[in-house]
Structure 1
């Protein structure tokens, strides 16, 4: 998606010295919108709409804005807040569980709605602890106001006075919203740190080997007894509609999946949202992306994304 020139706008950086500064905010906007919405496609739409509103203003109106970057972030935040409200209604008709869109390592991304190769650095999400799958799932359970207040203040370091302008509440109310969000995160007991680390990568590697061997006992040994496996097919791919709870149940279910898929599926170790994960490839295409939450050397949660609309950024070299 190219936002360097909006419809009806024939300016370029040589004729508009401020254009470069405006467009340099794109990556920051993408990073904000993805954390708020959990969808790269929706984040791209938000950024497109934000720039459309900027270029809908006259040159005089633009020049009157003291901080264009802050203006763009404010507009993007408000658009996201509105989308989060409507997303709850859309989820009621979503087939199965909804899982945030998984992100590959930046070097592997395919950007653009047509799936064209090559990556604009401005389209990349910074991979840190605020984009791990476990973190995004907790964010998704928050109210829209909680999520926006927390992400803007705790992740992007916006003062509560500025957060209040975006959320439409008082600074004191936004402080309470962020505090409530932090309590949710503490309750979820998320593993600390975003780094992939040899330990977690080794556990995922052993899980892959045990899965390919259909070794149920080995799988059980790698899974927390209370582990949960959640899948997202969105009604567009076959998968289990309800979470599988319990390490032994997951091990047996996954061993059956390996048996049914046979030699058609190839598993590849990769980075998913900054942490070790797996990709299932069928006939040369990415069919499923697996993200893991690992604590105390056991897999505590598996998220399997099969909805093809959420796998657009993926490719395997």
Structure 2
């Protein structure tokens, strides 16, 4: 095989599968129909969640029992809860918390998945067996059940919830990255780079990670959506973000006893969670089509 690469240098090795996002990928995403639909839902909700402290909405923590359990109106778009607090401002404030959890979990999961999945897939041997043994152990538990168990150990609160959900999701990211690396490291251009004395670090940084980043970004966006749903589930069960700090999960929990007389307390925040999850999945499909040439429609 050596004679095939005799005239190659390290600088001349091409990267035929490279899918590292360039500066124009966001513009391409805006031209993608699925991605644009997802962004058209996600961006306005994100802006509302970020800007709600400076917008003329009611204080999410201010109580006024004289307007308790009022139905949705112009003054209170999502109505009020049993203490007369504005459900809309509480939903937007809780959404800040839920989105922070989702994006932090996605970032942590992506980072650990890229690191350990690449090392495991590239080096193989004992390291691969050790990493995959740990992955298999964690994947033997349902992710929500594992997160519940970890929160029970770490305690409730923002940081413990982030850590618990991330630990539950990292094994899937490692397995995905490992499978991607295994599919790429036997390609001819990897053999060519080895023939010109490319170091393992150079191969991983310049070949393997750039060629796996697109599907990993797609997986990260799905992880963010799932983390938001998991956080809401934990908070609904009383194991996540605890009152008085608003979270979509604990807002829904507070309203469940008033479903018949004040359905809006639980239903409208629940619809916000649904919209965020759907939009993130649509954006992930758009990212996949934009960054992975093989996924684009002709």
Whose RCO is larger (CA < 8 A, sep 6+)? 2
Using the size of structure 1 for normalisation, the TM-score is: 0.24
More helix by share: 2
Using the size of structure 2 for normalisation, the TM-score is: 0.26
* Rg comparison, structure with higher value: 2
